[in-house]
Amino acid sequence: MIRRAARGWIFLALALLLAACAAPPPIPSALGGLPRTHTLQGGDALREINRLHGKSIPSRDGFVAHYERDGAVAMLYVSRAYLGPIARWQLSRMVAGIRRGASNAEGRFTHLKAREQDGLALYSALGLGQIHYFYRSEATIVWLAADPEVARQALADTVRLMR
pLDDT of residue 2: 57
3-state SS assignment for residue 117 = strand
Where do the domains of the chain lie, and which CATH numbers do they carry? 24-161 (3.40.1000)
Cβ atoms of 125 and 132 closer than 8 Å: yes
Whether 8 shows a pLDDT value over 90: the answer reads: no
Residue-wise pLDDT for 102-157, tens only, equals: 766 567 899 999 999 988 999 999 999 999 999 999 999 999 999 999 999 999 99
How many other C-beta atoms lie within 10 A of the C-beta of residue 5?
A: 9
Q: Which residue has the higher pLDDT, 86 or 9?
A: 86
